[in-house]
Structure 1
Amino acid sequence: MSEDESAVTKLVSVDFEIFGYVQGVCFRMYTEKKGLQLGLVGWVKNTHGGTVVGQVQGPADMVEKMKVWLSKEGSPSSRISKATFTNQRAIDKLEVSGFKTRF
């Protein structure tokens, strides 16, 4: 297997928190939809502090695309001021299934 192929198949997990105008604008629904479109698993939920938090897992290249989407695009009506990504780590297998909104 070439180095490029192993980069594609390497699984990673990352936690995120999105700041700005991200609640009441379907941010969670769009995040779930985008995650599934990229073939990722994870979860997303609103916080009492007005942010959106969650976790995504999947192939490293797709997780990177999701990070860009979370920090720059989001839902059509959202206004993202900041996105933080923490606890990024390599994983041997996916630890969650599907992509869910938590409450």
Structure 2
Amino acid sequence: MNPWIIVAIAGLMETGWALGLKYSDGFTRLWPTVVTIMLATGSFWLLSLAMKSLPVGTAYAVWVGIGAIGTATAAVFLFAEPVNALRILGVLMILGGIVALKFA
């Protein structure tokens, strides 16, 4: 499988486990905790597979960026976090960094 697709899936799983941290309530709720740990493990494993053929700095930065954008976006819908121009600019800057690293 294409390593960039693997990084993208790993980044989406990172979004899942980051959101799972909120739902686990400090690891006091069993099933959200189990799902969070499974997603984190899967995300790290997929990232490690992608790093076999991608530069570590680029793969890691893209993975983190996908997770950050996904988490920030999902939090707006799931947790009613505020949307304002500065937050949107921040997300766009992360996206720009991901694109630059992908094509660097």
Relative contact order higher in (CA < 8 Å, ≥ 6 apart): 1
Settle same-fold status: TM greater than 0.5. no
Greater strand share, structure number? 1
Greater helix share, structure number? 2
Please give the TM-score of this superposition, normalised by the length of structure 1: 0.28
Larger Rg: 2
